Amino acid sequence: MRLDVVTIFPEYLEPLNVSLVGKARARGQLDVRVHDLRAWTHDRHHTVDDTPYGGGPGMVMKPGPWGEALDAVLASGTHDLPEARPALVVPTPSGRPFTQGLAVELAGRPWLVFAPARYEGIDRRVIEEYAERLTVYEVSIGDYVLAGGEAAVLVITEAVARLLPGVLGNAESHRDDSFAPGAMADLLEGPVYTKPPEWRSRAVPEVLLSGHHGRIARWRRDEALRRTGRNRPDLVERCDPGALDAHDRAVLEELGWRRLADGRFGRPPDDVEE
Ligand code: JEW
């Protein structure tokens, strides 16, 4: 897979030299190229921003440098074949949510071009222009406000790179990752432990040392359910009732969840005295 990143902060992408992505690059599994947007400016101050039409606070990234940069990056590859065409990925707080499903989709593409913005974002005409030639993904990595898209590029790149064939070693291979579509009925994962069996007077839960695989599986599932109910009630609410066995239902009811008419579970009302 080929990845290009066009940014005014190339040094922000240094982590792509490290760890999983860095190793995939060293092995030739990933071809990563980082470009300085200011290389496609022509004024003495290498200006990439200007005031917003219509007024308002902040600055907007000018379309000129982005157009020249993206044209140059696109021209540097052979994408005559439609299936080899790059996808343009633009991080923005108003994009579609970045999920494991979208990571899988992006991992299936041969070439991703990232356009992380700064200021108040990029002049809309740039996105419209490239949407006529490429698949454009405007993506949000979460409901919080970053100062620019570079950190989102690092997040998306790591989630995508680990899905590429041969990038993960056997030791860290894909298990039933939470959020992988269909994983464990969409429950969060429970806690994990390793040696020693006692650390600072804290024992590893005895069931995990019991060798009783049935009891271990049940305990892990209970812990996963408890954690999901506490941290992600939205996942419990949309859980397919067919994915829950009688024991699961008992655990949820013990935690105060109520069974609704359709078999799904409803969140107990907050702060209601019983
Ligand atoms: C994010 C890129 C570039 C992604 C996620 N644009 C914009 C914008 C910004 C702040 C508030 C409103 C709009 C700043 N900003 C970015 C923010 C990505 C840029 C400029 C981003 N959160 N924030 N998930």
pLDDT tens, 1-21? 999 999 999 999 999 999 999
Could you tell me which of 44, 40, 57 has the C-alpha nearest to residue 121? 57
Atom number of ligand 1 nearest to Cα 143: 24
Do the strands 87-97 and 111-114 form a parallel or antiparallel pair, or are they unpaired?
parallel
User: Any idea which of 26-35, 94-103, 174-183, 229-238 has the lowest mean pLDDT?
Assistant: 174-183
| Cα 130 off chain centre by | 23
State the Cα torsion 155-160-165-169 to the nearest 10°.
20
For ligand 1, the distance from its centroid to the CA atom of residue 116, given in whole angstroms, is 9
| Mean predicted confidence (pLDDT) in 50-78 | 97
- Residue 171 pLDDT grade (very low, low, confident, very high; cuts 50, 70, 90): confident
pLDDT tens, 142-162? 999 999 999 999 999 999 999
Do the strands 60-61 and 49-50 form a parallel or antiparallel pair, or are they unpaired?
antiparallel
Could you tell me which of 85, 82, 72, 86 has the C-alpha nearest to residue 3? 86
Pocket probe for ligand 1: among 126, 139, 145, the residue whose CB has the most ligand atoms within 8 Å is 145
- Whether 182 shows a pLDDT value over 60: the answer reads no
Contact status, residue 238 vs residue 259, Cβ threshold 8 Å:
no
The protein residue whose alpha carbon is closest to atom 8 in ligand 1 is 120
Cis omega (within 30 of 0) for bond into 196: yes
The protein residue whose alpha carbon is closest to atom 5 in ligand 1 is 93
Helix (H) or strand (E) holding 135: strand 135-140
C-alpha distance across the termini of the chain, in Å: 57
- Whether 87 shows a pLDDT value over 50: the answer reads yes
| Mean predicted confidence (pLDDT) in 52-65 | 98
Answer whether 118 contacts ligand 1 (Cβ < 6 A): yes
Answer whether 229 contacts ligand 1 (Cβ < 6 A): no
- Residue 170 pLDDT grade (very low, low, confident, very high; cuts 50, 70, 90): confident
- State the Cα–Cα distance between residues 138 and 89, nearest whole angstrom: 6
Using a pLDDT cut of 90, give the percent of the chain over it. Answer: 87
- Whether 105 shows a pLDDT value over 50: the answer reads yes
| Mean predicted confidence (pLDDT) in 189-204 | 98
Helix (H) or strand (E) holding 96: strand 87-97
Supply the pTM of this predicted model. 0.94
- State the Cα–Cα distance between residues 191 and 225, nearest whole angstrom: 11
Atom number of ligand 1 nearest to Cα 98: 24
- pLDDT, residue 181, reads 46
